[in-house]
A and B are shown apart, each in its own frame.
Chain A
Amino acid sequence: MNSAVVILLAAVIYLAMYFTYGKALQNKVVKADPNRPTPAHKLYDGVDYVPAHPLVLYGHHFASIAGAGPIVGPAVAMAWGWLPGLLWVWFGNVFIGAVHDYLALMSSVRYDGKSVQWIAGKLMGKRTGVAFEIYIWFTLLLVVAAFVAVTAKLLTTTPEAATATILFLIIAVLLGWLLYKVKIDFKLGTIIGIILLAIAVWIGLNHPLIFVEGQTKVGTAAYTTAYHYWNIILMVYIIVASSLPVWILLQPRDYLNAYILWFGLLFGGIAFLGLAKGFTAPAFTSWSAHVVKGTKPVASPFWPTVPLVIACGALSGFHSLVGSGTSSKQLDNELHGLLVGYGGMFTEGFLSTLVITAIAVYGVQITGLEASKWATEYITKGGLGTFIGSYAKGVHDFYGVSEKFGKTFATLWVSAFTLTSLDTATRLGRFAWQELFGMVTDTSKGVWKFITNKWVASIIIAGLGTYLAWGSSYKTLWPAFSGMNQLLASIALMTAALWAAKVQRAGKWSWAVLIPALFLWITVTAALIWYIAVVPLKGGTLIAVKGSLLIGLLLNLMLAWDFYVAWKRPEEEYAAAAA
């Protein structure tokens, strides 16, 4: 097998399934009608509801859903070999993930742009919507923990990227000032921003930010010290960045991220397509390779643990929030939904395919592992760093750029997204925290005022998340975050299944949604029980991580009951919901 074949095969599979299975979903389940006015037209107000060009919406949707997720997960999953992860990214995406994204978007369109949380409350019961609010804060805590761990590791092991990342933040602030305050010409400002970004990478290459000599070697005392320094820096960054007005940092950084994303995808995609290099990593190592880590590596059965590792490249609950939060309000025509929801998810799957391909080609060289040792030793020697190194080697071999440049750019690519996610997760977590404590407003205004204070709410989530990252590897935290993410997908997909069967009355095509929904629920439930029972943790990490997962599991069981009750209700009762 070689890289060109896999990339082309991915393109063929995704295109073929888009035009066959996707179109079937569009016609048989969604019953998309180009003449039915979307909320963007029906509720047009020039403010929230405004029709957008389908490619603008697709590009925005893809940029919103693509982040560090489709990169980290597949990189860790390579412990099973390249084939299992690739099959999940391809077919898990086609039959579960993309279906989830598309139906979350289109059901929201039919409910006048309401979020999937709202629709779940309407179709399944009010407490499903309330459960979501409780659940979301714990999920965001794990997001902060996992992403702090990932970012700190990256910036410790690639100090060139650490310099470039800090400069990137300064450039984003400068760009924000130029675009939104000075109001410089938009194209000129963009060119300045991109040029400065390139300069930042060049400066980083020549002036790496090193805290402790020898910090790039994982497992050493120097690495641990530098990693902890980065934990503290990131915690302060989260608290400050999430409190700044959006024009100062979040908006301009998000803008530059879009260029980094597409450049990284095309730069690497063309390289590995053109190289057509053979795979050296094993196709399959073991059903229970060591993929998840606690206080020690744990033998992780591919089923049910794969969704704990590969989330965003195949299926991600957060995508349903993006689709039903903003995209549904801007859809111009119902027929555009397939490109935005289904197509957007396929593009993300393509990104994950690139990650797996890169490691499959160069992973053996990077890790120094023989194929026979991958199942048990990839967890310690491989992972995200293997993707960074493989990407660097690929672009070096194809374009002739230095490997150090490739490594710095790839690290900047991932860290740019993790920093954005940390910022937004803290903002959203702060809001969810304030919502949750609304109940004490009447009984104790003083307590409410203190606990929902902007700084207190930010410090709580940032502090707890950093505490978890302090003593844990991202290979411990990532599966926990992914598990909660998949639970969210469970809520969304079950809501979509109810909508397809009871409101849309899609007949036998309802099974195309119901089967993935049930499979997902069973898989995620089994995976969470496995994680809670099997993965060894200790101290505060044990309480916080397994406590959050237990809460998620209980909500998941409640969700199953609510779904069962809702499923038993006759279709006529849903006619009122459809109105």
Chain B
Amino acid sequence: MKSTLPLDGLVVLEFSQYLSGPSAGLRLADLGARVIKIERPGLGDAGRKLSIKDLWVDDNSLLFHTVNRNKESFAADLKKEDDLETIKKLIARADVMIHNFRPGVMQKIGLDYTVVRKINEKIIYGEISGYGKDGPWKDKPGQDLLLQSMTGLAYTTGNANNGPVPFGIAIADILCGAQLVQGILAALVRKQKKGVGALVEISLLETLLDFQFELLTTYYSSNRQPERSYISNGHPLLSAPYGIYATADGHLALAMMDITALAKAISCKALAAFSTGQAFTKRDAIKDILVKHLLKHTTRHWLNSLQQQGLWAMEVLDWEKMMQHEAYKKLDMEQTIYANGKRIITTRCPVRINGEKLFAAVPAPQVGEHNEKIYNDFVSAGK
């Protein structure tokens, strides 16, 4: 099965911790690459000790197991001459390396791109920083919530009177990892054609600015900051009714739609006084009418009439209800991993290749679990 994957045979060295770099490594692994984590002996990736909701599998958090399945681990102390030499031999045989150390750390160790390139000129060297390598912020911690806060992102979500509301998912880390994967893969395409390596760099800061490209382009053009609605904000650039509304028994999401068609579909006389042309200027007034009206009936009632008219609406589900739904079950999104005898259920890769779902239920490695194997495959064999 694995032999048919697009990145089969590719060797990736992951000098990364926590989420941004390791999430990139995970995607490359799921697409078929052999991903080797290079870790400090003993402690390893600091992400091993970072838990969320205090959930643990073994000595490692469930979070670590989630992000690092389908990888191998090679323990090496980069401050020791011998270990560093071994790592350089691995680098000579690798296609890709990824790190997310703060600026200057790889120079100190002696594994910055200028050095690595001399060992392996065709390597793709992927580097993640928090804020780039120059400037007043370069040494600040590249932590997700802080980046959300500094890039204006917290003013896109929640209602205007909520104060800044961050995304409850590590968007900067995850998106940065995903963007890095794109850069690395594009560089591999060039390498295959032209035989040259590449340095691919990205920062969490640039990632979140790119993420907001629609909002920022609008801001540059209008010089007006985006304004969240006071009621049911769904997206600061979008007009009424875009947002989530409470109903008699749950919540309903309404996307872009014609106001007149909406008024008709939900039999709302007060709304019929407004036209689609007023969907921006009277955004909160329209939303206020909807809030009161939609409370009168159940989500199912509204959905029936809205979807019948081809209007873009959907019920708001929590995970429990979502997982009971046939649409979720049909995806076959879960996979089961056995790590040290413990059963972990997690998600699979979202990309399908040639109609196949990509499952890879290989547990995350212990620190240095694959030293011997990797040494034999790359270092002894290379002699």
Verify that A and B bind, or say they do not: no
